[in-house]
Chains A and B, each alone.
Chain A
Amino acid sequence: DAGVTQSPTHLIKTRGQHVTLRCSPISGHKSVSWYQQVLGQGPQFIFQYYEKEERGRGNFPDRFSARQFPNYSSELNVNALLLGDSALYLCASSLERGTDTQYFGPGTRLTVL
Chain B
Amino acid sequence: EDKVVQSPLSLVVHEGDTVTLNCSYEVTNFRSLLWYKQEKKAPTFLFMLTSSGIEKKSGRLSSILDKKELFSILNITATQTGDSAVYLCAVYGGATNKLIFGTGTLLAVQP
Contacts and interface: CB of A to CB of B under 8 A. Distances in A.
B98 A42 contact: no
Interface residues of B, number: 23
Contacts of B41: 88, 90, 106-107, 109
B42 A90 contact: yes
A30 to B, nearest CB: 15
How big is the A interface, by class?
Answer: 20 to 34
B21 to A, nearest CB: 13
B99 A102 contact: yes
Interface string B94-111: 001111111110000000
Q: Which 4 A-B pairs have the closest CB atoms?
A: A42-B101, A100-B92, A107-B41, A45-B98
Interface of B: 4, 31-32, 34, 36, 41-45, 48, 88, 90, 92, 96-104
